[in-house]
Amino acid sequence: MSRVAENPSATPRELSQIARRVAEEAAVHVRARRVELFPASGHTGGAGAVSTKSTPTDPVTVADTETEQLIRGLLARERPGDTVLGEEEGGSDEIPDGVRWVVDPIDGTVNFLYGVPAYAVSVAAQVDGVSLGGAVVDVARERTYWAAVGEGAWCQDRGEASPRRLQANPVDDVSLALIATGFAYSEGRRRAQGAVLAGLLPQVRDLRRMGAAALDLCMVAAGAVDGHFEHGLSPWDWAAGALIAAEAGAVVVLPPATSRGSDGYPTVAVAPGIAQEFLALLEECGGTVCLPE
C-alpha cells in the first residue's frame, strides 16, 4: 500500500481533486496572458515575452514561468511540504519520500506562441515515481481531464452540467488506427523520428501531430485518437496524461520516472485492442528503442 493510501488526508482521489483545482486556476491565467502577450496574430510578443531553452526552436514564454510560479504557490498552500518537479524551475531527479507534484505550466508552448488552440496545463501527484492523481486542462477549449488510480478517467467542459467518463476506443485492427505523435527539437532525434514514421505511416490509418503530448494522451483516453507515441518526453509531459489514458483502459508504456527528454525513451499509450499489434509494429520500425539526441 502506498504512503498516500495510508494517509486519509491524501488519497488518490483527493490528490486528483487538488490537481484539478490547481490546473484549472492556472489555465485561467494562461488564457488571459495569451491575449495580453500576443494581442495581434503571430508570435511577436512584447520585449522579453519569449526566450529559448534547448535550441533556438525550443521557446519559453514569460507565461510559462509565471504559470509555474503560480502553480507552485497554489500547491504550497494546498500541500505544504510536498516537493515539486516542474518544466521551467526544475527540481530533483531523485524520487522523494512522500508526494512529488510534477508540473508542466504550458504543454505546447509553440502552439501557445502562434495561437494554435492546442496547449495545456498539466499537474500530477506521484509517489515512488508513480502517478496517483492528475489533471490536464485544455486551455483553449476550456476542457478538464482528470483521473485517480482505480477510479477511472473523466473530462468536463466549462459550463457542462456533469463529467463524462472516458474510455479508449474499441478498435481491433492497427491498420485502422489513428496515431498521434510528436517531435523533438534536436536535429539528430528528428531524423531518427522521421525514419520511424516512414515505416509506420503505410501501416496505420493516419498520423496526427498536435504539438502537446499531455493532450495527445488525453485524446487516447477520450477516443479522439487510437494511440500516441513519442520519444524524449520528460515526466512533466506524461505524468498526468498517461495516468488519464491508463484509467481509460489504454495500455501505457512509460520511461523511467527519473528520465528527462534528453534520454530519448519512448512513451506509448494505445487502445487495448491493438496494443500488442501496435507495439510489435513500433518495434519493427525502430520505435521502441531510445533515440539519439
121-148 burial, b for 16+ CB within 10 Å, e for fewer?
Answer: bbbbbbbebebbbbbbbbbbebbbbbbb
Return the C-alpha cell found at 246.
491508463
Strands (DSSP E) found in 70-119: 83-86, 99-107
Which has the closest alpha carbon to 100: 125, 121, 71?
Answer: 125
So what's the pLDDT on residue 7?
A: 44
CA max distance for the chain: 52
CA distance 154 to 108: 21
Q: What is the CATH number of the domain that holds 122?
A: 3.30.540.10
The verdict on residue 293 lying in a domain is: no
So what's the pLDDT on residue 5?
A: 43
Q: Mark whether 226 and 102 lie in a shared domain.
A: no
The verdict on residue 289 lying in a domain is: no
Contact call for residues 29 and 74 (beta carbons, < 8 A): no
Q: Mark whether 36 and 160 lie in a shared domain.
A: yes
CA distance 27 to 137: 7
Q: Mark whether 31 and 115 lie in a shared domain.
A: yes
State which of 124, 144, 165 marks the end of a domain. 165
The verdict on residue 291 lying in a domain is: no
So what's the pLDDT on residue 41?
A: 58
pTM of the model: 0.93
So what's the pLDDT on residue 61?
A: 86
Q: Mark whether 191 and 76 lie in a shared domain.
A: no
The verdict on residue 35 lying in a domain is: yes
Neighbours of 114 (CB within 10 A): 14
So what's the pLDDT on residue 83?
A: 96
Return the C-alpha cell found at 266.
519512448
Q: What is the pLDDT along the chain (293 residues), one digit of tens a residue?
A: 344 444 446 899 999 999 999 999 999 999 999 998 887 655 555 545 777 766 766 678 889 999 999 999 999 999 999 999 998 888 877 888 899 999 999 999 999 999 999 999 999 999 999 999 999 999 999 999 999 999 999 999 999 999 999 999 999 999 999 999 999 999 999 999 999 999 999 999 999 999 999 999 999 999 999 999 999 999 999 999 999 999 999 999 999 988 999 999 999 999 999 999 999 999 999 999 999 99
The verdict on residue 58 lying in a domain is: yes
So what's the pLDDT on residue 257?
A: 86
Return the C-alpha cell found at 36.
495580453
- Residue appearing with cell numbers 492528475: 134
CA distance 229 to 183: 10
The verdict on residue 160 lying in a domain is: yes
Q: Mark whether 201 and 110 lie in a shared domain.
A: no
Using CA atoms, how far residue 166 sits from 13, 30, 60, 246, 274, in Å, is 16, 25, 32, 10, 18
Q: Mark whether 24 and 115 lie in a shared domain.
A: yes
So what's the pLDDT on residue 88?
A: 84
Tell me the DSSP string of 224-268.
SSSEEEEES--HHHHHHHHHHHHHTT-EEE---TT--GGG--EEE
Q: What is the CATH number of the domain that holds 276?
A: 3.40.190.80
Neighbours of 208 (CB within 10 A): 15
CA distance 11 to 49: 39
Q: Mark whether 58 and 131 lie in a shared domain.
A: yes
CA distance 140 to 129: 30
Q: Mark whether 135 and 180 lie in a shared domain.
A: no
The verdict on residue 264 lying in a domain is: yes
Q: Mark whether 128 and 11 lie in a shared domain.
A: yes
Q: Mark whether 28 and 94 lie in a shared domain.
A: yes
CA distance 166 to 225: 13
Query: In this structure, what are the phi and psi dihedrals at residue 210, rounded to the nearest 5 degrees?
Result: -85, -30
State which of 132, 165, 198 marks the end of a domain. 165
Which has the closest alpha carbon to 211: 133, 158, 138, 283?
Answer: 138
Return the C-alpha cell found at 207.
498520423
So what's the pLDDT on residue 95?
A: 86
State which of 165, 191, 213 marks the end of a domain. 165
- Residue appearing with cell numbers 488519497: 11
Question: What domain range is 70 assigned to?
Answer: 3-165
Q: Mark whether 136 and 227 lie in a shared domain.
A: no
Total of domains in the chain: 2
Length of the chain: 293
Q: Mark whether 125 and 219 lie in a shared domain.
A: no
The verdict on residue 292 lying in a domain is: no
Tell me the DSSP string of 2-27.
-HHHH-TTS-HHHHHHHHHHHHHHHH
